[in-house]
Amino acid sequence: MKVLSLMTQKGGTGKSTLAASLGVAAHEAGERTFLIDMDPQGSLMSWGSRRAAEQPPVDRITPDKLASAIAALAKQDYSLVVIDTAGIDSAATSAAMQISNLCLIPARPSALDIEAARPTIGALSRLQRSFAFVLNQAPVGRTNRPLDASRALGLLGVLAPTLIAQRSDHMDAVALGMGVTEFNPTGKAAEEVRQLWAWANKRMEGERHG
């Protein structure tokens, strides 16, 4: 079973929205997926409560129960767990780091987001955990900000090759308890999320078999 966590110490990066859409995209790609909300704000659980579809399921787990929950899900033949962590340095974030095959760090193309990622990078490096940045909520149109941010993040670690643009499909989907690939399957936002999932899945498979 693979464990994918989303984490950052900067709020407003779209972490929970991305976790939801990645979980749905993975489910659509054939994974038996379970979503875990470890963020006190409960954004992922709120998304799940609005959701009409039964799959993938969502639940809240406390840090002290995470290891046992992961073991139980593996016995139930789940192939993927996606964890949404708190936007602060916390016991939940630390627990998720230690159990993950890959940690994704969403960052908007801003100096504040890039600087805020440094403590998370330090903690992941100390634990020798695999991580990658995701450039999220990037503006669409003629601007150098995404390119400049990509270069800056690339200097700090691995950067996922797929940029997630700031598109209304993300906001509309999460409001309906949907993943963006369900809301508008042929849209650009859906294609970007599918590409990100495919890349992350290959990274995790490499971690498991490397």
Q: Rounded to the nearest 10 degrees, how much is the dihedral formed by the CA atoms of 140, 145, 116, 128?
A: 90
Flag whether pLDDT at 205 surpasses 70. Answer: yes
Query: Tokens 């859409």 map to which residue?
Result: 21
The pLDDT of residue 155 is: 62
Residue-wise pLDDT tens digits, 90-131: 777 888 888 999 999 998 777 677 777 777 777 787 888 888
The pLDDT of residue 145 is: 64
The pair phi, psi for residue 14, each rounded to 5°, is 85, 25
Q: Give the domain ranges of the chain.
A: 2-209
3-state secondary structure of 178: coil
Flag whether pLDDT at 141 surpasses 80. Answer: no
Q: Which of 6-15, 19-28, 153-162 has the highest average model confidence (pLDDT)?
A: 19-28
d(CA 207, CA 57): 25
Choose the weakest-confidence range: 27-31, 36-40, 170-174: 36-40
d(CA 143, CA 158): 23
Instruction: State both tokens at 141.
Output: 């149109």
pTM of the prediction? Answer: 0.88
Give the percent of the chain with pLDDT over 70: 87
Flag whether pLDDT at 7 surpasses 60. Answer: yes
Residue-wise pLDDT tens digits, 142-185: 666 666 667 766 666 678 989 899 999 999 999 999 999 999 99
The pLDDT of residue 143 is: 63
The pLDDT of residue 144 is: 65
Q: Rounded to the nearest 10 degrees, how much is the dihedral formed by the CA atoms of 167, 170, 176, 180?
A: 110
- Arch. (CATH architecture) of 2-209: 3-Layer(aba) Sandwich (3.40)
